[in-house]
């Protein structure tokens, strides 16, 4: 620090990060936060100069002027400014705009850029020793994405306002995700479960009792379709002698997995803990920015937006030293190396703990419950990634019983290997124990256990599976996976039901319009190619203006064509009904609102009466009411379905009615779901066990 008392000003994105770094650097530095972007495109207009190379017009974000003024005042007191926003496209753009704003006020300021992958004292101090310049290619890549998304949003939204409903909006990448979710929903709705059966024999040797499954009958693999076929087979094998036909022993090697990338962490957290992708990133952000662990604030994990599985040499040395101390027998002779995917940008390391000595148990007391869960799996995955493989031994035994071939097996772990480091990530399955069995040996059959099953269709997308699909198709990047899902939910194009993503009626209408009128825009391959183009800009291989220009020509021609030729479906949305408003006597109209269809008085705004749209007729024979969706507790409770004649009629269903009627009893069918059958439809009548079969599909066609 100089004699004049001036300091080095370091500007980061978040206050939590600033607080952590300030403790590392001491009095010679001032650390301030921009709290994200300070400049962006105005919300009220396009703000893209299409005639002059698509140049964007940035303004100070509303509410951020005070922060900018404070940073400018602090900068005026400093010898040097170090811009330390996140090391990605958005972070680079934040630094770029802050630099320009500070230079406007203080042209001679010494402004440099520093980057780091983890918030630890050594890494921060080392990065300060080697400041660099802003990466203009990254800035251009962020600019290109922002301009591209603004052009799509501001050109498509007016079509939706004019042709569908006021207040709607469309996004470039979100529309592709919406298409995937809508297509999956059609598969779910059209799927017809098929019945099939399995047969297990309960066998005994000595005191050991175990089961074996029928895998072949009459020399062929079988598909038992109904209970009658089950009875024929079990009757034929009732007095059969069970003898061991074959015993096979196989050795299996299970390799450890690499440390987490952003998408893999989001998927794991969704599957294991039920975290949404947004929640996972919020928790990871807090772990990255710093937690007070008693000895001071420390960033517990490396940067959480990454598509790389790379690990630094220092971290590799640290984790191998840790393993040699606590898991000496599981340390491989040389470090494990993992192949990098073709689409990996490799700008950051994998997500790993900053200090492997901070075991989950050692810092459990200073973490919230959810922070502990997420940190634990990050720590376990990283440590186990540098341990030896696990080895298991599987015994498979075949039994011959007349014309039936039954099979059973058991697996035991011979070498635990990397699994010694796993607790939360450890398998919860208990191994099956079999007695020693030899070829030709006879065992006693205690009976048969048939079980009914139904084929399972494609499941609805969850946060985990949609992110996995987007990643596999090359759509989006680590920083965009969580926002993609969040935007669809906030626009109410999609709702989350039991962790599943279900398109709303509004979402389906938007998707139908976009897929029919803008097939290229919502095509997964086209979107993936556009992501590569943006990567090319970041790698300085593409010029950002040319990327936008190549896209915009065909796009705007199609926009103009659709605006001129597409018929408005607003009238379709406001459908006349036979219902009469009980308040003023005028007819009720079926309208599409943000939360789906509802009935509104045609006398609006004089009469503001609204009611829910009926989903089915009340099945009670003495009732003429309709079944509508309802909620308890002022609309905030769990949705259920009840009769409009309540309290005279107390019919209630917790399953959503469909528009199909049971051909056996006339009641309506409802949507159900269980682990055995997945999504299926069955009769609401408790005295009718009718399932949704092909007969119903034919009836409704």
Using only the alpha carbons of the chain, give its radius of gyration. 31
> What is the phi/psi pair of residue 290, to 5°?
135, 135
Catalytic residue annotation? 303
- Residues 6 or more apart whose Cβ sits within 8 Å of residue 90: 37, 142, 479
Q: What is the distance between the alpha carbons of residues 690 and 668, in angstroms, rounded to a whole number?
A: 11
> What is the phi/psi pair of residue 569, to 5°?
-110, 15
Task: Find how far residue 198's CA is from the centre of its chain.
Answer: 34
> What is the phi/psi pair of residue 652, to 5°?
-140, 140
Task: Find how far residue 270's CA is from the centre of its chain.
Answer: 7
- Geometric angle at alpha carbon 665, from 660 and 666, rounded to 5°: 40
- To which residue do tokens 């029928």 refer? 214
Contact 518, 118 (CB under 8 A): no
- Residues 6 or more apart whose Cβ sits within 8 Å of residue 321: none
Strand stretches in 430-504, DSSP E:
442-454, 494-497, 500-503
Contact 221, 410 (CB under 8 A): no
Contact 599, 611 (CB under 8 A): yes
Q: How many CB atoms lie within 10 A of CB 59?
A: 12
Written as six digits, the tokens of 244 are 């061991």
Q: What is the distance between the alpha carbons of residues 667 and 165, in angstroms, rounded to a whole number?
A: 35
Q: How many CB atoms lie within 10 A of CB 145?
A: 26
Q: What is the distance between the alpha carbons of residues 187 and 184, in angstroms, rounded to a whole number?
A: 5
Q: Which helix (H) or strand (E) holds 576?
A: strand 575-580
Contact 383, 293 (CB under 8 A): no
Q: How many CB atoms lie within 10 A of CB 430?
A: 6
Written as six digits, the tokens of 391 are 């080895």
Length of the chain: 701
Q: What is the distance between the alpha carbons of residues 157 and 397, in angstroms, rounded to a whole number?
A: 63
Partners of 196 in the beta sheet? 453
Taking alpha carbons only, the member of 155, 151, 175, 191 closest to residue 507 is 175
Instruction: Give 224's DSSP letter.
Output: B
Taking alpha carbons only, the member of 558, 665, 548, 534 closest to residue 151 is 548
Taking alpha carbons only, the member of 185, 177, 176, 175 closest to residue 460 is 185
Handedness of CA 548, 549, 554, 560 (dihedral sign): positive
Q: Exposed, middle or buried by CB within 10 Å (0-12, 13-18, 19+), for 656? A: middle
Taking alpha carbons only, the member of 33, 39, 30 closest to residue 14 is 33
């Amino acid at each position: 620090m100089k004699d004049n008392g001036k300091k080095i000003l370091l500007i980061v994105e978040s206050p939590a990060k600033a607080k952590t770094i300030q403790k590392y650097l001491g009095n010679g530095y001032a650390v301030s936060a921009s709290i994200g972007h300070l400049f962006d495109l105005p919300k009220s207009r396009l703000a893209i100069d299409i005639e002059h190379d698509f140049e964007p017009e940035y303004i100070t974000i509303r509410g951020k002027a005070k922060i900018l003024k404070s940073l400018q005042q602090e900068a005026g007191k400093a010898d040097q400014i170090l811009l330390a926003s996140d090391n990605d496209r958005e972070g680079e753009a934040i630094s770029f705009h802050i630099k320009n704003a500070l230079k406007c006020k203080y042209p001679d300021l010494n402004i440099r850029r520093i980057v780091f992958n983890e918030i630890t004292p050594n890494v921060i101090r080392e990065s300060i020793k080697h400041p660099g310049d802003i990466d203009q290619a990254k800035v251009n890549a962020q600019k290109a994405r922002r301009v591209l998304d603004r052009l799509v949003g501001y050109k498509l939204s007016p079509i939706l306002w004019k042709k569908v409903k006021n207040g709607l909006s469309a996004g470039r990448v979100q529309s592709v995700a919406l298409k995937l979710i809508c297509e999956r929903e059609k598969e779910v709705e059209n799927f017809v479960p098929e019945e099939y059966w399995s047969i297990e024999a309960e066998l005994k040797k000595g005191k050991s009792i175990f089961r074996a499954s029928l895998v072949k009958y009459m020399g062929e693999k079988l598909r038992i379709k109904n209970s009658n076929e089950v009875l024929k087979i079990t009757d034929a094998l009732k007095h059969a002698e069970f003898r061991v036909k074959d015993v096979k022993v196989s050795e299996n090697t299970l390799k450890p997995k690499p440390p987490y990338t952003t998408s893999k962490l989001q998927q794991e957290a969704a599957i294991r803990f039920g975290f949404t992708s947004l929640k996972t990133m919020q928790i990871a952000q807090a772990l990255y920015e710093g937690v007070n662990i008693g000895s001071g604030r420390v960033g517990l994990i490396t940067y959480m937006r990454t598509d790389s599985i790379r690990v630094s040499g220092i971290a590799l040395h640290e984790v191998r030293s840790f393993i040699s101390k606590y898991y000496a027998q599981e340390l491989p002779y040389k470090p494990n190396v993992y192949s990098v995917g073709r689409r990996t940008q490799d700008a950051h390391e994998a997500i790993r703990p900053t200090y492997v000595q901070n075991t989950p148990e050692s810092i459990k007391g200073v973490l919230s419950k959810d922070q502990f869960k997420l940190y634990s799996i990050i720590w376990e995955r990283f440590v186990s990634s540098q341990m030896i493989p696990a080895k298991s031994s599987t015994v498979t035994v075949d039994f011959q019983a007349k014309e039936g071939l039954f099979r059973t097996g058991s697996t035991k772990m011979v070498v635990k290997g990397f699994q010694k480091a796993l607790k939360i990530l450890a398998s919860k399955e208990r191994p099956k124990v079999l007695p020693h069995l030899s070829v030709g040996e006879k065992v006693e059959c205690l009976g048969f256990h048939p079980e009914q099953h139904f084929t399972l269709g494609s499941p609805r997308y969850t946060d985990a599976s949609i992110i996995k699909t987007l990643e596999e198709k090359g759509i989006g990047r680590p920083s965009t996976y969580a926002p993609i899902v969040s935007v669809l939910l906030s626009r109410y194009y999609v709702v989350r039901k039991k962790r599943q993503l279900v398109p709303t009626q509004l979402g389906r209408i938007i998707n139908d319009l976009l897929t029919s009128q803008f097939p290229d825009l919502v095509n997964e391959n086209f979107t993936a190619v556009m992501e590569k183009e943006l990567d090319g800009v970041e790698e300085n291989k593409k010029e950002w203006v040319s990327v936008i220009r190549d896209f915009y020509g065909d796009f705007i021609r199609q926009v103009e064509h659709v605006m001129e030729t597409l018929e408005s479906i607003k009238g379709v949305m406001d459908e006349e009904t036979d219902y009469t408003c009980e308040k003023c006597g005028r007819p009720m109209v079926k309208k599409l609102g943000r939360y789906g269809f509802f009935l509104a008085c045609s006398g609006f705004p004089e009469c503001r009466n609204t009611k829910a749209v009926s989903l089915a007729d009340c099945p009670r024979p003495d009732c003429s009411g309709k079944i509508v969706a309802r909620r308890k507790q002022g609309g905030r409770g769990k949705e259920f379905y009840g009769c409009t004649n309540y309290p005279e009629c107390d019919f209630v269903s917790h399953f959503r009615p469909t528009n199909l009627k049971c051909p056996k009893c006339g009641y309506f069918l409802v949507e159900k779901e269980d682990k055995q059958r997945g999504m299926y439809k069955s009769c609401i009548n408790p005295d009718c066990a009718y399932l949704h079969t092909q007969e119903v599909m034919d009836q409704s066609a």
